[in-house]
Amino acid sequence: MGCNALILLPLLLQSLFAQTAPASLTGSLRDAAGQPVALAKVKLRVESKEVETLTGTDGGFEFRAIAAGKYSIAVEWGGSTAVTPNQLELAPGAQLRQSLRLTAAGGVVLQADSQATGGEQLSGKQVSAIPLNKRDFSQLLLLAAGTQTDTNGAANFTQQFTVNGQRGSATVFAMDGIDTTDPEMGGATFSNFNVDAIEEINSSSGVMPADIGHGAAGFTAITSKAGSNDLHGSLFEFVRNAAFDARNFFDRRSIAQPGRIPPFARNEFGLTNGGPVRIPGVYDGRNRTFYFAQYQGFRQVLGTTQVLPVPTAQERQGVDTTAFPGDALIVPVDARIAPVLARYPLPNDPQGPYGARTYATSSKVRTQTDQFSVRLDHKLSDKLALFGRFNLNNVDGPLTNPSQTAIDPSFGIPYCDREGCTDTTLETRLRWTTIFCSAKFTTGCETTWPTSPRCLPSAPRVWPTPRPEPR
């Protein structure tokens, strides 16, 4: 009995120590622009206890040897106090790192890594600073481990991403809490959203908590920028052109590409503007109502080399001399087929891969997009806020079969996409002496319009009906 007591005593002491082991919390505080906030007071509250500390010049703060529990976090800075809408739970012995960000509307939000096992988190400043081809923010997901592009179902600006070996259609995207995942092919709609209007991108993957995922692969949350009391904005244009490019080793003058290098021209331009809503003599929205608007246009002409077989001049007359060497095969050409054959160009490269039938040329693929959004934020009170945002995105091109347009422009199948989204969010925070409650109500809709009538052929093509062969 005495021996058993001696053996159990250390185990009981270890279990008791584990349950009462102190926790620690470190992190940083940043403003809406991503800059560190110094000399701000960060408070942790649990039941009737409260601990506080000041942030350093780099915005960092630290709490050591604090009791485990669920804490509410409050930040005092600039004469105002903001409370996070969610509580933070510290397990016994936990060493947690948690970032805080002040919003333009005067609130504060948690920015720690989610409970997922992987992902990436980028601020608006980082998003704008990283070079992005086509300014497509979804390419930032490739910075996270286990993420790569998936060509299945990709269409222009709607790119699928496979995460940890899952299907690309299982990746979920949301903007300001509204699901913006392409319902048919997966991937993000509005992926050409102006990166200068993005406040933060937070992606999660792996084992995700239930509150952020209805997809098995990953979840990407995009937060758009809001206006503030200061009027601010940006104006930009990015140019890429073949005239600025150097010739690589494989760029040779040929029948298909008579120029120095293949033609290429791209222009991306846009603007952002945000601030308080003010109507002189009628309404002053400073400290209450803010707006943020953005527009971005994309124009591209891309030269592609096309090498394909076309009928020879003799074959258009129904004479085939290639089927049997030294002999000619006569195949009558139906009068209804002759106009179609006439639209095919004549071969121009007899030394090409298709011999006498080879036609080599350059086909220009055009893409044009226009998208804009307007966001309104209104602070009803210190405990109640409302915001709404409207997005519109129009995409024309690229052609899905440039080889056919090289034969005849009317043979092409244009790609058109019309996307619109409206969402509103009502957020309320109620505070008592030691209890903090938050509630958020969100409604939204997303609509993808069918192909525009101007993208369809002007008249349906009528193909000839085959005639039965005579017996």
**Whole-angstrom distance, CA of residue 131 vs CA of residue 123:** 14
pLDDT (0 to 100) of residue 290: 94
**Whole-angstrom distance, CA of residue 399 vs CA of residue 406:** 11
Q: Percentage of residues in the chain with pLDDT exceeding 70? A: 73
The pLDDT-based confidence of 182 (bands split at 50, 70, 90) is confident
Question: Which residues partner with 422 through β-bridges?
Answer: 390, 445
Q: For residues 464 and 109, which has the higher predicted lDDT (pLDDT)?
A: 109
Which range of 284-298, 374-388, 416-430 scores highest in mean pLDDT? It is 284-298
105 token code pair: 């509307």
**Whole-angstrom distance, CA of residue 331 vs CA of residue 314:** 11
Q: Are 270 and 295 in contact (CB under 8 A)?
A: yes
Q: For residues 157 and 362, which has the higher predicted lDDT (pLDDT)?
A: 362
Assign 297 to helix, strand or coil: strand
User: What is the chain's mean pLDDT, rounded?
Assistant: 75
Residue 342, pLDDT above cutoff 80: yes
The pLDDT-based confidence of 271 (bands split at 50, 70, 90) is very high
Residue 457, pLDDT above cutoff 50: no
Q: For residues 332 and 456, which has the higher predicted lDDT (pLDDT)?
A: 332
Q: Are 262 and 300 in contact (CB under 8 A)?
A: no
- Which segment of 16-20, 231-235, 375-379 scores lowest on mean pLDDT? 16-20
CA angle 459, 460, 461 (to 5 degrees): 115
pLDDT (0 to 100) of residue 236: 92
Q: What is the pLDDT of residues 111-132, one digit of tens each?
A: 654 444 455 566 666 666 677 7
**Whole-angstrom distance, CA of residue 250 vs CA of residue 243:** 17
Q: For residues 274 and 400, which has the higher predicted lDDT (pLDDT)?
A: 274
- Which segment of 8-17, 203-212, 282-291, 360-369 scores lowest on mean pLDDT? 8-17
Q: Which whole number is the average pLDDT over 156-166?
A: 71
Nearest CA to 24 out of 86, 97, 100 is that of 97
pTM of the entire predicted model: 0.62
Question: Which residues partner with 109 through β-bridges?
Answer: 101
21-111 adopts what CATH topology? Immunoglobulin-like (2.60.40)
The pLDDT-based confidence of 465 (bands split at 50, 70, 90) is very low
Residue 87, pLDDT above cutoff 60: yes
Q: Distance of CA 407 to CAs 253, 298, 375, 454, Å?
A: 21, 27, 46, 21
pLDDT (0 to 100) of residue 153: 53
Nearest CA to 200 out of 179, 175, 182 is that of 175
**Whole-angstrom distance, CA of residue 46 vs CA of residue 71:** 5
| Domains in the chain: boundaries | 21-111
Residue 297, pLDDT above cutoff 80: yes
Q: Are 383 and 426 in contact (CB under 8 A)?
A: no
pLDDT (0 to 100) of residue 435: 32
DSSP state of 331: -
Residue 90, pLDDT above cutoff 50: yes
Which range of 215-219, 289-293, 438-442 scores highest in mean pLDDT? It is 289-293
Q: Which whole number is the average pLDDT over 308-328?
A: 83
Which range of 240-254, 259-273, 424-438 scores highest in mean pLDDT? It is 259-273
Assign 219 to helix, strand or coil: strand
- The residue with tokens 């005639």 is 467
**Whole-angstrom distance, CA of residue 292 vs CA of residue 206:** 34
Q: What is the pLDDT of residues 184-197, one digit of tens each?
A: 766 777 777 888 88
355 token code pair: 């011999």
Q: Is the dihedral of CA 329, 330, 335, 341 positive or negative?
A: positive
pLDDT (0 to 100) of residue 120: 58
pLDDT (0 to 100) of residue 351: 86
Residue 50, pLDDT above cutoff 50: yes
Q: Distance of CA 465 to CAs 20, 105, 318, 336, 337, Å?
A: 85, 67, 19, 10, 11
Residue 429, pLDDT above cutoff 50: no
pLDDT (0 to 100) of residue 193: 84
Residue 10, pLDDT above cutoff 70: no
**Whole-angstrom distance, CA of residue 123 vs CA of residue 141:** 13
Assign 197 to helix, strand or coil: helix
Residue 345, pLDDT above cutoff 50: yes
Nearest CA to 111 out of 5, 31, 209 is that of 31
pLDDT (0 to 100) of residue 276: 94
Which range of 16-20, 85-89, 95-99, 228-232 scores highest in mean pLDDT? It is 228-232
- Which segment of 49-63, 79-93, 338-352 scores lowest on mean pLDDT? 79-93
298 token code pair: 């994309």
